[in-house]
Structure formats: C-alpha cells, structure tokens
C-alpha cells in the first residue's frame, strides 16, 4: 500500500513544546485541529490512537528535558487514503538566544499565498512552501518571513502567527485572510482578554506597518517573541509584550499543573 504522505504530501502534523516532567499543554486544542483537518480531507482519525501515540512519544523523552515533539498522521492507500497511522519524533529544544529575546527580525515573503487555500488552514505535511520561505528568510539573517495574500494583506509567518501593537491596543490578522489558527494564537487572545487588553482581528497591509509601535510572534514552541524589525520598519519593545508573555506563562503553568505529570 502506497505511503501517500511520502508520495503526495497527504498528511497532518501537530507540534508540541514538552516541558520538564514530560508535560505538554493544550493537547485538546491540538488534536481538535488535527481532527478538523481529517474531516476536511476525509482522512481516518482516532483520538484514542493519537493520545496513545503521543503518550508513547513522551515516554521516550528524558524526564527533565525540554523538547519539541511532533505528532504525525501518515496516510496510506493506492488510489485514495484508505488508512492512517500516527508516529512521533522529537528533538531537544534549542534555547532562545539573547538576540531573539530582545526582538527578532522579520521580512515579507517573496511571493503571495491564496487566502482560500485549505492548505493554509491546517498543519499539512504539504509543507514545502513554508520550509522554502523559512529557509529563504534565515539565509538572509531574518527569524521568519511574513506571507501576504492575493489582496496584499499580511497573514502569518512561515512558522508563526503575528500580532501588532498600537497605542496600547493589539491587532492580529483574521483567519479569513488565510492563516493557520494557531493554538498559541488562540491562548494569547484569551490571555489578552484576561489582562484587560483590547485585541482586534483586522486586516493589516504592508503599508500599515509603520503605524504600529510594536509587534510579536507566537507558536507553541517559542511561545511569545517580540519583534524589533519587519523589513525596513523598526519597532520598540513595549512593556505590554512582556506582560502578555508573563500572562501566557502563568496561564500555561496553571494548565500544566492541573493536567498532571504528562497528559
């Protein structure tokens, strides 16, 4: 039976940050997103199998190690997807450098993406576009590149979601611009509300970049990182970003504590 993930990129994945004690956060959100992808693409999905594979993957990681754990949904079938199986892989988590902690540099991606493509809404293994742009950005000394859609709207980074700040308010592109609804993005929106910050999902164009006074990026592994530059636009790092980072960490730690030593 043909491995359709290898041949055609048919498959899904989720990435988790593993904290010391083999603890992971927001598992339900990750698996729900994978389920939605399976429903859209008509892939078989078993939550119980996903959980069992995730637990087995965690058991392979040393107890006091922080790591990046990837849960892969592999598809098989000769003429269409007939069955799926889960596999995990992991690697040690690299520490965030001082430069990254003080603000990362971003650039606009060299091409646009279609906002209506389903590939931008799910974490599919058809990931070459993201990898190409990420590699392209890092070769030029940038942390990530921001995609724009066919309307010229900023959507997301190749591996991150993006937020902008202006006069004490937070703005982030809406999902209908064509972006992955990140698990950390969802939690940051919650945390902003808990802290009493105003957060709006709205269209952001390249021409708007100089109107903001700060920005930050998120994903499940890096959590919250401030941005110091987008192209030729420089930003300060407002105290609000640190407040959001601390608020997210507290929210995360409360969850990890309540979820037990592993899942």
CATH number at residue 152: 3.20.10.10
Q: Give residue 168's pLDDT.
A: 93
Assess if residue 256 is contained within a domain. Answer: no
Verify that 136 and 77 share a domain, yes or no. Answer: no
Verify that 86 and 178 share a domain, yes or no. Answer: no
Per-residue confidence band for 262, with pLDDT thresholds at 50, 70 and 90: low
Q: Give residue 244's pLDDT.
A: 96
Residue 251 has pLDDT above 80, yes or no: yes
Count of structural domains, the chain: 2
Q: Give residue 97's pLDDT.
A: 57
Residue range 4-44, pLDDT digits in tens? 999 999 999 999 999 999 999 999 999 999 999 999 999 99
Residue range 180-224, pLDDT digits in tens? 999 999 999 999 999 999 999 999 999 999 999 999 999 999 999
Verify that 142 and 242 share a domain, yes or no. Answer: yes
Verify that 79 and 115 share a domain, yes or no. Answer: no
Assess if residue 260 is contained within a domain. Answer: no
Of 94, 121, 137, which residue is a domain's last?
Answer: 94
CATH number at residue 13: 3.30.470.10
CA distance 221 to 41: 26
Verify that 63 and 153 share a domain, yes or no. Answer: no
Of 94, 118, 138, which residue is a domain's last?
Answer: 94
Verify that 113 and 187 share a domain, yes or no. Answer: yes
Verify that 112 and 148 share a domain, yes or no. Answer: yes
Per-residue confidence band for 254, with pLDDT thresholds at 50, 70 and 90: confident
Verify that 209 and 134 share a domain, yes or no. Answer: yes
Assess if residue 263 is contained within a domain. Answer: no
Q: 236 is in which domain, residue-wise? A: 98-251
Verify that 117 and 17 share a domain, yes or no. Answer: no
Of 70, 94, 118, which residue is a domain's last?
Answer: 94
Verify that 134 and 208 share a domain, yes or no. Answer: yes
Verify that 43 and 128 share a domain, yes or no. Answer: no
């Amino acid at each position: 039976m043909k491995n359709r993930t290898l041949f055609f990129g048919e498959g899904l994945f989720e990435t988790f940050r593993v904290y010391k004690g083999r603890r992971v956060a927001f598992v339900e959100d990750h698996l729900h997103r994978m389920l939605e992808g399976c429903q859209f693409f008509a892939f078989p999905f078993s939550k119980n199998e996903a959980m069992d594979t995730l637990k087995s993957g965690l058991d392979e990681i040393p107890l006091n190690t922080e790591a990046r754990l990837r849960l892969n949904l592999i598809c098989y079938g000769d003429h269409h997807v007939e069955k799926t199986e889960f596999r995990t892989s992991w690697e040690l988590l690299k520490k965030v450098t001082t430069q990254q902690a003080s603000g990362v540099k971003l650039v606009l991606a060299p091409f646009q993406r279609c906002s209506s493509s389903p590939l931008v809404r799910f974490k599919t293994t058809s990931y070459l576009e993201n990898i190409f742009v990420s590699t392209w950005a890092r070769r030029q000394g940038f942390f990530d590149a921001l995609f724009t859609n066919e309307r010229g709207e900023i959507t997301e980074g190749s591996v991150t979601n993006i937020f902008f700040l202006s006069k004490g308010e937070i703005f982030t592109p809406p999902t209908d611009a064509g972006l992955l609804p990140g698990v950390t993005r969802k939690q940051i929106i919650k945390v902003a509300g808990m802290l009493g910050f105003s957060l709006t999902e709205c269209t952001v164009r390249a021409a708007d970049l100089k109107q903001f006074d700060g920005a930050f990026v998120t994903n499940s592994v890096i959590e919250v990182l401030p941005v110091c530059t987008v192209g030729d636009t420089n930003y300060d790092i407002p105290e609000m970003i640190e407040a959001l980072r601390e608020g997210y960490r507290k929210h995360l730690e409360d969850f990890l504590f309540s979820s037990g030593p592993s899942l």
